Chain A
Amino acid sequence: MSLEMPDLEKALRLSHLEISEADKLLYLGQLHSIIEYMKVLEAMDLDKVEPSAYAHDQQQYLREDVVEDQGDLLLEKNAPDWQDGSFSVPKILG
């Protein structure tokens, strides 16, 4: 299994990233070597092994689902474009 240009194009589309054509070629070469290196996993007998999503099999500590005052979240200060109390984004529908 290797990473080819259509795979890279798909990953760019899914991750909403725009890069130049020259960078695509550079990344393709680098990512191809990284994926090749990862084939070390293919040599391991993993069929009967359970996957681990976390380091410990610990319970998650969930807090009560109640509204808390978090103070000023600086939404306006950090927003690239803020209008009438909302984040403003380019037109979505034509």
Chain B
Amino acid sequence: MKTAVQLSKELRAREITATSLIESTYKNIESTDDKINAYMTLLKERALEQAAQVDKQFDKGNELSPLAGIPIAIKDNICIKDTRTTCSSKMLENYISPITSGAAQRCLDAGIIPVGKANMDEFAMGSSTENSAYFTSKNPWDLDYTPGGSSGGSAATVAAGQVPLALGSDTGGSVRQPASFCGVVGAKPSYGRVSRYGLVAFASSLDQIGPVTRTVEDTAHLLNVICGHDKRDATSLDLEVPDFTATLNQDIKGLKFAIPNELMSDIISDDIKEKVMDALEVIKAQGATFDFVSMDSLKASIATYYILAPAEASANLSRFDGVRYTNRADDISNLKDMYTKTRGEGFGAEVKRRIILGTYVLSSGYYDAFYLKAQKARTLIKNDFNKIFDKYDAILSPTTPTTSFKFGEKDKDPIKLYMCDIATIPANMAGLPGMNVPCGFSNNGMPIGFQIVTKALDEATMLRIGHRYQQVTDFHLKNPEMNYV
């Protein structure tokens, strides 16, 4: 399994062509994806056309982006013009996007080649892909286990070595949690760094597109491509984006890290705590120091998130009403029937649960008790982060409280599933960058990751820490055996 940087060198040396790379990528997908189920839709014809264009540019000796010719998987809630975008929902089963999202357009402009749309939990609501209306994606390390979610297809395809790059979206951990479950790198940039134009909205104040890769170095390159202002997204930051690869190799001597006690408590499984402590020792040996700190507001983060995100979702998903987006229920007698039956039939159980919850917390009589309180708790979470970043350069913690779980293990109890996000949600609340880095395996052989969170817009430090860790460890080089193929 080669990284994007390795493949890029081979392309530049003309040891391989973009066309041969894309052909071999599809050969690999065709021989493995009946087991992994990473893809909703493959884009073979247009990918080969794009590869031919990239090869022409190489042949002419033109200067191309470092990732030109590299295949990428795109989560199926990120639009590409004239392709199907389902959000893994029956509601959008045959929806063809009329636009290309800001992030996908930047990839296309850089010559990166989208090979397919990756499976996900419906409308990005879930932690296992079990909420996809079509099929579950499998964890390449053990097919009985989930790849995590909601960007489960994106993480699974990278872990299976089908592609070196993928894009996911992260509202409460939906890039970092599946990355942790699948033993790959997954990053959520600061809120506003990557355009949300063309990302089908779940919770607009929290959603952010991010990369899934095998190395931090590849993540830095992909962030260089996708970050930047987009006037079509009013929350996109109009700020200069640094070259994230420029500072990757700086050492981390003298950096100070905070470890929240709340994320090393008994809510985290013992094997994860052990491996994260091992990772901290590795980082310490690189000249950094760390202290255990308290973040009292973390105890409210799940409750806060599961009020704010469903509230925003209930508004965002109101557009799916049977008028414009492909699906409409049969057997309707009037307009109200059309709305209620289309939505009742088109949305899956978890999406309906969150729409109901969001509508309830925004409704008259409950707004102050739930929604307003959650917005205030969000302020406390932000304040706690600010206090820590006055003294420390980064916060390190486990990414998830457990390793991947088996299919069906948590699907009956929503709160059990919501707890998967306890370590990742806070960064979304405060709009901070966060990244999962693989750091070992549990007793049953499933991957473990640790999370690095830095202050807003300081992705460079986050990447530098993760890259340094990968320079002195080899967890990111380990591959699933995949002897089931």
CA distance A10 to B225 in the complex (A): 46
Given A41-B303, A54-B205, do A11 and B429 touch, yes or no (CB 8 Å)? no
A22 adjacent to chain B (CB < 8 Å) = no
A44 adjacent to chain B (CB < 8 Å) = yes
How does the 8 Å CB contact mask read for A19-32 relative to B, with 1 for contact and 0 for none? 10001000100110
Name the B residues within 8 Å of A34 (CB-CB).
306, 357, 414-415, 418
B380 near A46 with CB under 8 A, answer yes
A79 near B324 with CB under 8 A, answer yes
B99 adjacent to chain A (CB < 8 Å) = yes
A56 near B456 with CB under 8 A, answer yes
CA distance A3 to B377 in the complex (A): 21
A80 near B327 with CB under 8 A, answer yes
Name the B residues within 8 Å of A17 (CB-CB).
340, 343-344, 347, 352, 355-356
Name the A residues within 8 Å of B382 (CB-CB).
52, 55
B304 adjacent to chain A (CB < 8 Å) = yes
Given A50-B379, A92-B335, do A55 and B234 touch, yes or no (CB 8 Å)? no
**Smallest distance from the beta carbon of A60 to chain B beta carbons, Å?**
5
Query: Which single member of B303, B347, B378 contacts A40 (CB below 8 Å)?
Result: B303
**Number of B residues contacting the other chain (C-beta, 8 Å)?**
80
B292 adjacent to chain A (CB < 8 Å) = no
Interface centre among B300, B303, B321, B328 (most CB of A within 10 A): B303
A31 near B357 with CB under 8 A, answer yes
**Smallest distance from the beta carbon of A78 to chain B beta carbons, Å?**
5
A53 near B205 with CB under 8 A, answer yes
Stretch at the interface among B175-183, B359-367, B396-404: B359-367
Closest-by-CB residue of B relative to A20 is B344
CA distance A52 to B231 in the complex (A): 23
Interface centre among B322, B333, B353, B359 (most CB of A within 10 A): B359
B191 near A56 with CB under 8 A, answer yes
Name the B residues within 8 Å of A54 (CB-CB).
191, 205, 235, 431
Query: Which single member of A10, A46, A74, A87 contacts B363 (CB below 8 Å)?
Result: A10
Name the B residues within 8 Å of A53 (CB-CB).
205, 375
B328 near A81 with CB under 8 A, answer yes
B326 adjacent to chain A (CB < 8 Å) = yes
Given A40-B299, A89-B335, do A11 and B344 touch, yes or no (CB 8 Å)? no
A63 near B231 with CB under 8 A, answer yes
CA distance A55 to B193 in the complex (A): 13
Query: Which single member of B232, B363, B370 contacts A14 (CB below 8 Å)?
Result: B363
**Number of A residues contacting the other chain (C-beta, 8 Å)?**
57
A51 near B352 with CB under 8 A, answer no
Given A16-B339, A46-B376, A49-B376, do A56 and B300 touch, yes or no (CB 8 Å)? no
Closest-by-CB residue of A relative to B385 is A55
Name the B residues within 8 Å of A1 (CB-CB).
366, 369
A73 near B98 with CB under 8 A, answer yes
B430 adjacent to chain A (CB < 8 Å) = yes
* Chain B, range 314-360, C-beta contacts under 8 Å to A: 314, 318, 321-328, 332-341, 343-344, 347, 349, 352-353, 355-360
CA distance A9 to B82 in the complex (A): 39
B377 near A18 with CB under 8 A, answer no
CA distance A69 to B232 in the complex (A): 13
Query: Which single member of B98, B322, B347, B359 contacts A11 (CB below 8 Å)?
Result: B359
B224 adjacent to chain A (CB < 8 Å) = no
A27 near B356 with CB under 8 A, answer yes
CA distance A87 to B332 in the complex (A): 16
Query: Which single member of A18, A39, A70, A73 contacts B344 (CB below 8 Å)?
Result: A18
Given A52-B375, A75-B324, do A31 and B356 touch, yes or no (CB 8 Å)? yes
B41 adjacent to chain A (CB < 8 Å) = no
Name the A residues within 8 Å of B326 (CB-CB).
78-80
Given A60-B234, A90-B338, do A41 and B366 touch, yes or no (CB 8 Å)? no
B191 near A55 with CB under 8 A, answer yes
**Smallest distance from the beta carbon of A39 to chain B beta carbons, Å?**
8
Q: List 20 A-B contacts (CB under 8 A).
A: A1-B369, A7-B360, A10-B363, A11-B357, A16-B318, A34-B306, A35-B360, A40-B300, A41-B307, A55-B431, A61-B238, A70-B98, A71-B98, A74-B96, A75-B324, A79-B323, A79-B324, A81-B328, A87-B324, A89-B335
- B interface residue numbers (CB < 8 A to A): 95-99, 191-192, 205-206, 229, 231-238, 299-300, 302-304, 306-307, 314, 318, 321-328, 332-341, 343-344, 347, 349, 352-353, 355-360, 363, 366, 369-370, 372-380, 382, 414-415, 418, 428-432, 456
- A interface residue numbers (CB < 8 A to B): 1, 3, 7-8, 10-12, 14-19, 23, 27, 30-31, 33-35, 37-42, 44, 46, 49-56, 58, 60-63, 70-75, 77-81, 87, 89-92
Besides A40-B299, A78-B325, 16 more A-B contacts (Cβ < 8 Å) are A8-B356, A11-B360, A16-B340, A31-B353, A34-B418, A38-B370, A41-B374, A46-B376, A46-B380, A54-B431, A56-B456, A60-B234, A77-B96, A81-B328, A89-B323, A90-B335
